[in-house]
Amino acid sequence: MVPIRPSEITPEHIYLSRRKFMLGLGAAALLAACGRLPDTPEATVMPEGAATSEALSTPRPTPTQKPDIKTAFDAVTGYVNYYEFSLDKEAAAILANESLQVSPWTVTVGGLVNKPRVFDIEEILKFEQEERVYRMRCVEGWSMVIPWLGFPLSRLLKEVEPLSNAKYVRFQTLADPEQMPGLGDMTFPWPYIEGLRLDEAMHDLTLIATGIYGWSLRPSNGAPLRLVVPWKYGFKSLKSIVRIDLVEEQPTTFWMAAGAGEYGFWANVNPEVPHRRWSQANERRIGETRRIPTLLFNGYADEVADLYPDLTNKDWFF
Amino acid sequence: MMRTFLKRHGLKLVIHLGALVPAVVMALQLARGSYLDPIRQMTTASGNTALALLGLTLTCTPLARLTGFRAVLRVRRPLGLYTFSYAALHLLIFAGWDYGFAWDLLIPALFTQRFVLAGLAAFVILLALALTSTRGWQQRLGRWWKRLQRWVYAAAGLVVLHVLLLSKTPDKALRYGIVLVLLLVLRWVPARPSAQGASSAPVTKD
């Protein structure tokens, strides 16, 4: 595997200024062409404290077979799974961007910790933010390459001081029927719950994202803060977090409860282990035309494989 | 004269024009780049269109039997052929655009994924029905022709299975399944006296 060279990635100050120009151009063209862009990117504001270029560290190279090309901004923000809004990917993005109120916002961090605390979103944005270019592999068989802004979850967890009997972290997405029409679908066990083992949560790759492409997160991507765990299938990386609890027992996640035995807790990417009904051997990169092979741990095996003893145990990939 | 033309051919005109609308919409969306994930969205759009047209095709016979409105039997064949056309487009996008006709990927994709197998089986049936839909084949096959054409229900069942196997949640497939069962049950409802023999009217009759 040849890692992408830092020189192949546009420095952020250049792409930021170029983006502003391109976004304006793109938005104008799109609006002129079809008038279906719900919210022009110019309306997006940089998060306080994340806007300064000093706060951004050097983009981290993504381990991959060939240089990753960042997925287009419009696809990353306009094509999402956000079932709280709609089962349709484009409709979900439009509805979320129209109606999700991301301010004021608080995140309650508690459970088995020394210092339980309610964080205001402004306090979350005061954590030093850096850019991470990660691959995102959806369990449905498609993938993207996304430049996130954020900080390792471990820094947030260290603030609240997990107790020694805390073994897992349980995350919860906002579930407000006033804002989220999809919650009316009673076949799902709302709210959206996800979980990680504590050492997975403390891993340096595990990110709390607050921004995307140098901008603050769009509601469609899970504003104002979301989880990003790049070596697991995308559904583990839950959006719009309102609650984080340190717990002793493995949490039952949304998809474990909803998926009729088709989704497990670990959900680590592995091309050799198919989903119950479809293959995971290759993937479609959004914006590219040829299928590419899926990699073990989504290409992050060097970093995370030692979290899992005995990789022949297929449970890790279910 | 215009009125008689519309009375004779109005329904067919609506079917022929209506069936082209999804293709035109897809082409326009693609041309102006408004698909964020063109491969998946075109696959879904062509598949959904084929499914809707299949539903309409299967509605013709019960509708004629229940209402005595026999004109619908004359659009059954074009509806069936449009169903086949969109199914063929659906398969072409999957095999050609998504997989680039890479057989080393397509063969495993077929045998490791039951939704592909179910979809392909449905397509093979639709292909056989489309090829034998001409008046010539109808005469050659005689009474076997009707038995063959009834395989359309097997194809529809396989399509429901196809949707069930590829979806994250089963609700969409369940809705289609209920509609299919309903259409099948309606075949057993006695025909209205005025429409006696409606279901045995030759499909190709123009």
pLDDT-derived band of residue B192, with 50, 70 and 90 as boundaries?
A: low
Amino acid at B11: L
Per-residue pLDDT, B165? 93
* A1 occurs within a structural domain: no
Largest Cα separation within chain B, whole Å, is: 59
Distance in angstroms (rounded) separating the CA atoms of residues A254 and A234: 13
Percent of chain B residues past pLDDT 90, beyond the cut: 70
Q: Identify the domain containing residue A127 by its residue range.
A: 6-317
Q: Which helix (H) or strand (E) holds B84?
A: helix B76-92
Q: Which two tokens stand for residue B17?
A: 């024009």
Distances (CA, A) of A58 to A4, A145, A230, B63: 13, 17, 18, 67
> Above 60 in pLDDT, residue A43?
no
**Closest CB to A278 among B102, B113, B170:** B113
Percent of chain A residues past pLDDT 70, beyond the cut: 79
Q: Which two tokens stand for residue A81?
A: 């799974």
**ω before A224 within 30° of 0 (cis)?**
yes
CB atoms A289 and B100 under 8 Å: yes
Per-residue pLDDT, B8? 76
CB atoms B166 and A277 under 8 Å: yes
CB atoms B36 and A281 under 8 Å: no
Per-residue pLDDT, A64? 44
Tell me the torsion sign for CA atoms A115, A119, A123, A124.
positive
Q: Which residues of A90-104 are buried (b: 16+ CB within 10 A; e: fewer)?
A: bebbbbbbeebebee
Per-residue pLDDT, A271? 96
B2 touches chain A (CB under 8 A): no
**Closest CB to B165 among A75, A140, A277:** A277
Amino acid at A68: D
Q: Which two tokens stand for residue A239?
A: 């959006």
Give the residue from A74, A188, A279, A292 with the most B CB atoms within 10 Å of its CB, the best one to mutate: A279
Q: How many domains does chain A have?
A: 1
B37 touches chain A (CB under 8 A): yes
Per-residue pLDDT, A60? 52
Expressed in percent and rounded to 5, the helix, strand and coil fractions of chain B are 80, 0, 20
pLDDT-derived band of residue B169, with 50, 70 and 90 as boundaries?
A: confident
Per-residue pLDDT, B189? 77
The interface pTM score, or ipTM, of the predicted complex is 0.79
Q: Which two tokens stand for residue B122?
A: 């449905």
What mean pLDDT, rounded, does chain B reach? Answer: 89
Distances (CA, A) of A183 to A175, A292, B112, B158: 7, 35, 34, 31
> Look-up: residue for tokens 């994340």?
A50
For A117, which DSSP code? Answer: E
> Above 90 in pLDDT, residue A112?
yes
What mean pLDDT, rounded, does chain A reach? Answer: 84
pLDDT-derived band of residue A260, with 50, 70 and 90 as boundaries?
A: confident
Query: B147: number of CA atoms within 13 Å, CB side?
Result: 4
Structural contact between residues B131 and B149, judged by C-beta atoms closer than 8 angstroms: no
Structural contact between residues A193 and A249, judged by C-beta atoms closer than 8 angstroms: no
Find chain B residues with C-beta within 8 A of A274's C-beta.
Answer: 112
Give the residue from B29, B32, B34, B37 with the most A CB atoms within 10 Å of its CB, the best one to mutate: B37
Mean of pLDDT values over A255-282: 92
Q: What is the CATH number of the domain that holds A30?
A: 3.90.420.10
Per-residue pLDDT, B206? 41
Mean of pLDDT values over B97-108: 92
Amino acid at A109: V
Cα dihedral B133/B135/B141/B145 (nearest 10)? 50
Distance in angstroms (rounded) separating the CA atoms of residues A71 and A142: 12
Per-residue pLDDT, A205? 95
Q: Which helix (H) or strand (E) holds A200?
A: helix A198-202
Per-residue pLDDT, B170? 87
Query: What is the per-residue pLDDT across A124-175, written as a single tens digit (0 to 9) for each?
Result: 999 999 999 999 999 999 999 999 999 999 999 999 999 999 999 999 999 9
Query: What is the per-residue pLDDT across B22-75, written as a single tens digit (0 to 9) for each?
Result: 999 999 999 998 899 999 999 999 999 999 999 999 999 999 988 888 889 999
Distance in angstroms (rounded) separating the CA atoms of residues A133 and A131: 7
Structural contact between residues A203 and A306, judged by C-beta atoms closer than 8 angstroms: no
Structural contact between residues A293 and A244, judged by C-beta atoms closer than 8 angstroms: no
* A11 occurs within a structural domain: yes
> Look-up: residue for tokens 């839909």?
B133
Find chain A residues with C-beta within 8 A of B97's C-beta.
Answer: 289
> Look-up: residue for tokens 């897809």?
B26
Q: Which of A17-26, B1-10, B11-20 has the highest mean pLDDT?
A: B11-20
Distance in angstroms (rounded) separating the CA atoms of residues A9 and A27: 24
B100 touches chain A (CB under 8 A): yes
The number of residues making up chain B comes to: 206
Cα A300 to chain centroid distance, Å, stands at 15
Starting at the edge strand found earlier in the chain, the sheet holding A106-111 runs A117-120, A106-111, A241-247, A168-173, A193-197
Cα dihedral A88/A133/A238/A74 (nearest 10)? -20
**Closest CB to A142 among B40, B100, B113:** B40
